[in-house]
Homo-oligomer: A and B are copies of this chain.
Amino acid sequence: MELVSVGHVESSLRDRDDAPKQGDEGAPEAWLVIAPEFGAALDGIAAGDELLLLTWLDRALRDVLQVRPRSRTTGPVQGVFSTRSPDRPNPIGLHRVTVLELDGERVRVDQLEALDGTPIVDLKPLLRTIDER
């Protein structure tokens, strides 16, 4: 189960401590830079589309199974599968973004909390009937 990088994130966010936890908490716009050999997979995407972006959170910890939710500073930890912590056995980031612009194999999106250089794993269209049923 080996992932290939299909591109990377270009962002002004450089540091995990500076990044918002979720895109709608003040994250900046970013560019998704798709590698030329995967450019054909972008065909059909247009400005205004809502996408689910999957990334590889390469600065996360993989040996963490329980964390304290950020809403609490004390008290019990809970399992990472019940949280959106980046630290988890398979650190795949899931980000909902809106396409603002396409420029060849570069896709500009609105608020994205992923750090500069984060590998891109997949893009999927948001299906309202499924993802929001």
Question: Is A41 within 8 A of B6, CB to CB?
Answer: no
Q: Which of B1, B84, B88, B96 contacts A2 (CB 8 A)?
A: B1
A41 and B81 CA atoms in complex are apart in Å by 5
When A1-B2, A3-B1 are in contact, do A43 and B82 touch as well, CB less than 8 Å? yes
A100 close to B (CB within 8 Å): no
Question: Is A90 within 8 A of B124, CB to CB?
Answer: no
Which residue of chain B lies nearest to A125 when distances are taken between CB atoms in the complex? B82
Question: Is A4 within 8 A of B133, CB to CB?
Answer: no
| Copies of the chain in the assembly | 2
A19 close to B (CB within 8 Å): no
Contact surface of A with B, Cβ cutoff 8 Å: 1-6, 22-24, 38, 40-45, 49, 51-52, 54, 56, 58, 65-66, 77-84, 88-90, 92, 94, 96, 119, 121-125, 127, 129-133
